[in-house]
């Protein structure tokens, strides 16, 4: 299981300055806020099938719904996403393509 430090190490954070640079890159991405209440039934099914927490399952259901890839370092979430026909991208790939 990944720890928070492992996650930051996976994207190359080694210093506070480096963390600030990565944060600025993330802020330039075209984030959007989505309601997920309508995805709860799908998330529940995913969670029960793959023994995931509802928040992990919601990310998978949202990726399915939007037709977008999932970015994660969680191995169990990655396996569940792949089995649910969701493309999984490496956490260090922040391209918008």
The answer as to CATH 3.40.50.1010 being correct for domain 4-89 is yes
Band of residue 1 on the pLDDT scale cut at 50, 70, 90: very low
Q: Please report, for the chain, the start and end positions of each structural domain, with discontinuous segments joined by +.
A: 4-89
Band of residue 2 on the pLDDT scale cut at 50, 70, 90: very low
Asked whether residue 96 carries a pLDDT value surpassing 60, the answer given is: no
- Give every CB contact of residue 46 below 8 A, 6+ residues apart in sequence: 52, 57, 60, 61, 80, 84
Helix (H) or strand (E) holding 83: helix 75-83
Reported pTM: 0.70
Reported as a single tens digit per residue, the pLDDT across 68-94 is 999 988 999 999 999 999 999 977 766
Reported as a single tens digit per residue, the pLDDT across 9-68 is 655 656 666 778 878 888 888 888 889 999 999 999 999 999 999 999 999 999 999 999
Helix ranges restricted to H, 1-69: 4-10, 16-27, 40-50, 54-66
Q: What is the pLDDT of residue 12?
A: 60
Nearest to 81 by CA among 90, 10, 38: 90
């Amino acid at each position: 299981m990944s720890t928070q430090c492992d996650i930051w190490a996976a994207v190359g954070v080694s210093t506070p300055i480096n963390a600030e640079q990565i944060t600025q890159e993330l802020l330039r991405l075209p984030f959007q806020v989505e309601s997920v209440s309508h995805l709860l039934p799908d998330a529940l099914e995913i969670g029960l099938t793959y023994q995931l927490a509802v928040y992990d399952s919601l990310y998978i259901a949202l990726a399915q719904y939007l037709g977008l890839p999932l970015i994660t370092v969680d191995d169990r979430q990655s396996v569940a996403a792949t089995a649910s026909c969701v493309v999984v991208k490496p956490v260090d790939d922040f391209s918008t393509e």
